Amino acid sequence: MVDLEVMAAVLAALPPSARLILLGDKDQLASVEAGAVLGELCQRARDGHYTPATCDWLEQASGERVAPELLDVAGSVLDQAVVMLRHSHRFSARSGIGQLAEAVNAGDFVRVGRLWQQAHADLALLPLGGGDDDDEAGFSALIVDGGPARAATANTVDADRDPAAVASPPQRNGYRHYLETLRERQPAPAASQEAFDDWARAVLRAHGRFQVLCALRRGPWGVAGLNQRSARVLHEAGLIPASDGWYPGRPVLITHNDYGLGLMNGDIGITLALPGASDDEWILRVAFPAGDASQGIKWVLPSRLQAVETAYALTVHKAQGSEFTHAALLLPETLSPILTRELLYTGITRARAFLTVAMPGTVKLLEEAAQRQVLRASGLLAEDGESGD
């Protein structure tokens, strides 16, 4: 997501002798500001274009031979400096998530539609938005428990197509999981600070098992509407004590860098109650991961957080760079300019073990969005065309 201006500043700050390594996913969302730096630099990566000299060097250095189809005697200098990682360790390429991500990334709308007709243990499609009791029950089940019970389980999956799913059925936690962890593992008031830090770490880990993602910020299917609706559902289920304001269990997202607190845009914390001066007094603090190798916890008073919002639902943009055991991607009723192949691919690949796609429309919306690609250019290769020399 590095834009052209920031990339120029990075390069200007580096000494001429520095070696720069850029690591990222070229197919995810581009930067909000101008440019698509990584995407343009890696636009020929899929086909390699490695010269015989590069292939010989790689074989000598690694002992591995480069596939013949990646050889190109006319490969550019830039081509020799680009490597495309082709094996995902987040999910299997044969899994439903892997196949859906590949189909969306290729713009193969026929395959996108066909995948939902197959029994993949790690995919669920949840229709919403009709306004009837069934739809409300479906949304509530998604938020609380990760979705309603469905027929396609590991027992009905084709073992030849996805053997790993049969051996290890994916878990479909909802927000109940972290809220029950919060309640059941809360230390006694007289417990040590270490015990409360351990509790916070356990709650943060449990929270990372499920996340609602959406494309929009406004409207009933945007962040604001989904956060309000999710809080109401969890309150009615008795899992949180309130549905607005500050309360134990409220997840929050930092929306602007706060260097004084050491919190960055995109950091997520959970509101917890710590013992106060008297036996019956509890004080709210927000627990954030320390963000370093210490695995520590940073406790912050809610009153010190000026740029923060509830995080039951996140935009796909904000979730970029994160991963969740179960991601639920909620799409709007109609096709929006922001609903593109890159957004779908980024949202799908946030899921590590299970993906739910929930929407008031039909699968046709997914198929149409998969065909819409963001076309942006940074102008990096304009002078030399595709040569990259």
pLDDT in tens, 229-248: 999 999 999 999 999 999 99
User: What pLDDT band is residue 348 in, cutting at 50, 70 and 90?
Assistant: very high
Report the amino acid identity of residue 22. Answer: L
Q: Which of 84, 17, 11 is nearest to 47 (CA)?
A: 84
pLDDT in tens, 58-88: 888 888 888 888 888 888 888 888 887 766 6
DSSP state of 297: E
pLDDT score at 365: 85
pTM for the complete prediction? Answer: 0.81
pLDDT in tens, 21-72: 888 766 666 555 555 677 778 777 777 888 888 888 888 888 888 888 888 8
pLDDT in tens, 131-188: 556 678 899 999 999 998 653 333 334 444 444 443 344 567 899 999 999 999 999 9
What is the spatial distance between Cα 107 and Cα 88, in angstroms, rounded to a whole number?
19
Residue at token pair 């830039």: 78
- CB under 8 Å, gap of 24 or more: what pairs does 134-137 form? 135/360
pLDDT score at 55: 85
DSSP state of 258: B
> How is residue 62 written in tokens?
């690694």
Coil, helix or strand for 212? Answer: strand
What structural domains and CATH numbers belong to the chain? 4-81 (no CATH), 96-370 (3.40.50.300)
Tell whether the model's pLDDT for residue 385 goes beyond 60.
no
User: What pLDDT band is residue 91 in, cutting at 50, 70 and 90?
Assistant: low
Q: Which of 145, 141, 126 is nearest to 366 (CA)?
A: 126
Q: Which of 279, 301, 285, 78 is nearest to 200 (CA)?
A: 285
pLDDT in tens, 243-282: 999 999 999 999 999 999 999 999 999 999 999 877 778 9
**Helices marked H in 35-146:** 37-41, 52-62, 96-105, 109-115, 133-145
User: What pLDDT band is residue 346 in, cutting at 50, 70 and 90?
Assistant: very high
pLDDT score at 96: 92
Coil, helix or strand for 105? Answer: helix
